[in-house]
Amino acid sequence: MQVPAARIVFPEADRAEIASLTSEILASGALTLGAHTREFEASFAAAHGLPFAVAVSSGTAALEIILRGLDVAGSDVVVPTNTFAATGFAVLRAGANLVLADVDSKTFALSAATVAAALTPRTRAVVLVHIGGLITPEIDDIRTLCDERGVLLVEDAAHAHGSSHDGRYAGSFGVAGAFSFYPTKVVTSGEGGMILTADERLRDEALIFRDQGKAGFLGNVHIKQGYAWRLSELHAVTGLVHLRRLAGFLDVRSGVAARYNAGLDDIDGLDPILVKTGGRSNFYKYLVLPRPGIDRTRLKKELKERHGVSLSGEVYEAPLHQQPVFEPYARGSLPVAEDVCARHVCLPVHSDMTEAEVDHVLASLAAAVETLTMRI
Question: Is residue 187 located within the same domain as residue 126?
Answer: yes
The number of folded domains in the chain is: 2
Is the pLDDT score of 217 beyond 90?
no
In angstroms, the Cα distances linking 114 to 17, 124, 279, 303, 325 are: 47, 16, 21, 35, 23
**Predicted pLDDT at 376:** 55
Taking alpha carbons only, the member of 210, 198, 240 closest to residue 56 is 210
Hey, is 279 helix, strand or coil?
A: strand
284 domain-assigned: yes
Whole-number Å distance between alpha carbons of 130 and 237: 26
Closest by CA position to 49, among listed 196, 156, 228:
196
In a domain? residue 201 = yes
Q: 317: which residues sit within 8 A by CB, 6+ positions away?
A: 341, 342
**DSSP 8-state symbol, 340:** H
Tens digit of each residue's pLDDT (9 = 90 or more) over 145-159: 999 999 999 999 999
Last residue of a domain, one of 192, 218, 243: 243
pLDDT grade for 354, boundaries at 50, 70 and 90 = very high
The residues facing 180 across adjacent strands are: 193
Q: Are residues 154 and 273 in the same domain?
A: no
DSSP category for residue 211: B
Name the burial class of residue 19, with classes exposed (0-12), middle (13-18) and buried (19+) by CB atoms within 10 angstroms of its CB: exposed
pLDDT tens across 59-109, in order? 999 999 999 999 999 999 999 999 999 999 999 999 999 999 999 999 999
> pLDDT per residue over 261-284, tens digit each?
999 999 999 999 999 999 999 999
Strand partners, 176: 154, 197
Residues with Cβ within 8 Å of residue 47, at least 6 apart in sequence? 162, 169, 243, 246
pLDDT at 375: 65
E strand residue ranges, the chain: 52-56, 76-80, 97-101, 123-129, 152-156, 164-165, 168-169, 176-180, 193-197, 270-272, 279-280, 286-290, 345-347
What integer pLDDT is reported at residue 216 of this predicted model?
84
Q: What are phi and psi of 68, to 5 degrees?
A: -65, -40
Task: Please tell me the distance from the alpha carbon of residue 285 to that of residue 270, in angstroms, as a whole number.
Answer: 16
Q: 174-198: b or e for each residue (b if 16 or more CB lie within 10 Å)?
A: bbbbbbbbbebbbbbbebbbbbbbb
Query: Does 211 share its domain with 337?
Result: no
Do residue 86 and residue 31 come from a single domain?
A: yes
Separation between Cα atoms, residue 83 and residue 108, nearest integer Å: 9
Whether residues 215 and 284 fall in one domain = no
Residue numbers of the domain that contains 227? 12-243
Distance CA 114, CA 101 (A): 6
What percentage of residues in the chain have a pLDDT greater than 90? 97
Q: Does the pLDDT value for residue 365 go beyond 70? A: yes
Q: What is the mean pLDDT of residues 34-42?
A: 98
Bridging pattern class, strands 123-129 and 152-156: parallel
Pairing, β 76-80 against β 123-129: parallel
Distance of alpha carbon 361 from alpha carbon 260, whole angstroms = 9
Domain end marker among 209, 243, 277 = 243
Strand order in the sheet with 164-165: 168-169, 164-165, 279-280
Give the CATH number of the domain where residue 211 resides: 3.40.640.10
Same domain membership, residue 99 and residue 42: yes
Task: Identify the pLDDT of residue 219.
Answer: 83
Average pLDDT over residues 338-355: 98
Mean pLDDT score across all residues of the chain: 97
Residue 59 to residues 139, 195, 213, 232, 348, Cα–Cα distance (Å): 21, 8, 18, 15, 22
Do 206 and 252 lie in a common domain?
no
Identify whether residues 158 and 82 lie together within a single domain: yes
Output the pLDDT for position 374.
75
Residue from 129, 178, 121 nearest 150 by CA: 121
Q: How confident is the model at residue 373 (pLDDT cuts 50, 70, 90)?
A: confident
Residues in contact with 105: Cβ distance below 8 Å, sequence separation at least 6, in sequence order: 289, 336, 339, 340
Residue 36 scores a pLDDT above 60: yes
Cβ density class 214-225: b for 16+ within 10 Å, e for less? beeeeeeeeeee
